[in-house]
Amino acid sequence: MRRLIPVLLLSLAVPNLAAPTLAAGAAEPVAVSVLVPITGFLALEGTAQRNGAVLALDNPPAGVSVTYQVADTATSPEVAVTALQRALDREKPVAVAAPIFGTQMLAMAPIADRAGVPLVTVSGTAKITELGHDVVFRFFPTDAVVKVAQARYAVQELGMKKPAILYQTTAYGQSGREHLARTLKQLGIEPVLEEAIDPGIKDLVPALERARAAGADGLLLQLHSGPTALAVRQAHGLGLGLPIVAGSAMHQPTTAALLEPEQLAGVCAETASSPVSEPDPKIAAFTNAYRERFHSEPDAFALGQFDGMRMVLAAVAGGARTPQAVRDWLATNRYQGLAMDYVSDGSGNMAHDAVIVCYDGTGRVPTIMKRYDAVDGVK
């Protein structure tokens, strides 16, 4: 039987980074490891992940004491595996805030599975919950959700009939391309171009020119933050004049900050949420606390990781004090987070809603244009 557990923001006043002191009579602290990419081509996304996790862990529910260590997994699967093994040996965590990078998650999941330690992530790579590892819990909609929203918005709202898809060569990019192409086919649309882009790309003009030559009437991007900003900037510089619906990287304030407002005009993105765009007072409280603590703007990755770690802490508050107990609690409870309600679909996919945000060319804060709820049928 699933129970609805509401999120308790408590005080989101900015705490210090000192390890929490144990009050008299309080339970012994539990350990959580934060293993995310803080350097490399996913530094923007990984830093947001870290910040969301830290904000949650520094504000535990009453009666819960938690210690945590942060490690940079960079962008190498080997580095991520080493960080996980070290954490399992030294920290004995009840849960791990795990990388957004799908390639790293695929390498870490078998190890975590053998150890029975839950991996709480915001990675969108569909495959991480398709391999039977029952310790993976994803607090960001899978590609089966956000790519459906991206394709539907492009076709049904913007009228694209001949889109070009530019996608990253990483697991994230390939997974997104597959789901985009599948949804477009269901909508009766065939892309005029599908081109794989290396994460280290420095010039996308040739690819954009090929999209124009193919007769594309819109661009669908499945790229990480840096290449996304590059594509938008160079498309504007070429005067391409095509609508762009990008992947979740484009909703990030840190990505938008790489561009001028006029370059953003008409650019849209799929995402789980957009904290800076939401009027909800509870999300506004989170956003203000995040700004005060980290001197930057939160994104959906930060909020999803925050909600994920808050659910872990709710499990601990509910008596789950071992990795197995936390895993079981996450798998069997419904949790009312800030971004959405979370419940497992039986495979560890916890998030089932998506939104489309668009920029109007006058600033760097997007507007939520459309919400897609329970896209995968899980409610």
The pLDDT value given to residue 26: 56
CA atoms within 13 A on the CB side of 14: 10
CA atoms within 13 A on the CB side of 189: 26
The pLDDT value given to residue 7: 40
The pLDDT value given to residue 126: 86
The pLDDT value given to residue 4: 47
Q: Is 266 left (phi over 0), alpha (psi -120 to 50) or beta?
A: left
What six digits make up the tokens of 306? 């925050």
The pLDDT value given to residue 27: 74
What six digits make up the tokens of 265? 């005009």
The pLDDT value given to residue 17: 31
Strand arrangement of the beta sheet that strand 267-271 belongs to? 193-197, 163-168, 218-222, 244-246, 267-271, 354-358, 367-372
pTM score of the predicted model: 0.89
Give the rounded percent of residues in the chain with a pLDDT score beyond 90. Answer: 91
Task: From 101, 3, 17, select the one nearest 53 (Cα to Cα).
Answer: 17
Q: pLDDT tens string for the chain (379 positions)?
A: 444 444 433 344 333 333 333 334 457 999 999 999 999 999 999 999 999 999 999 999 999 999 999 999 999 999 999 999 999 999 999 999 999 999 999 999 999 999 999 999 999 888 999 999 999 999 999 999 999 999 999 999 999 999 999 999 998 999 999 999 999 999 999 999 999 999 999 999 999 999 999 999 999 999 999 999 999 999 999 999 999 999 999 999 999 999 999 999 999 999 999 999 998 999 999 999 999 999 999 999 999 999 999 999 999 999 999 999 999 999 999 999 999 999 999 999 999 999 999 999 999 999 999 999 999 999 8
How far apart CA 48 and CA 296 sit, in angstroms, is 9
Q: Is 346 exposed, middle or buried (0-12, 13-18, 19+ CB in 10 A)?
A: exposed
CA atoms within 13 A on the CB side of 360: 7
How far apart CA 119 and CA 53 sit, in angstroms, is 13
How far apart CA 286 and CA 290 sit, in angstroms, is 6
Kindly list the distances between the CA atom of residue 78 and the CA atoms of 41, 47, 70, 95, in Å, as whole numbers in the listed order: 16, 19, 17, 20
Task: Sketch out the chain's domains with CATH numbers.
Answer: 4-141+279-351 (3.40.50.2300), 143-276+355-372 (3.40.50.2300)
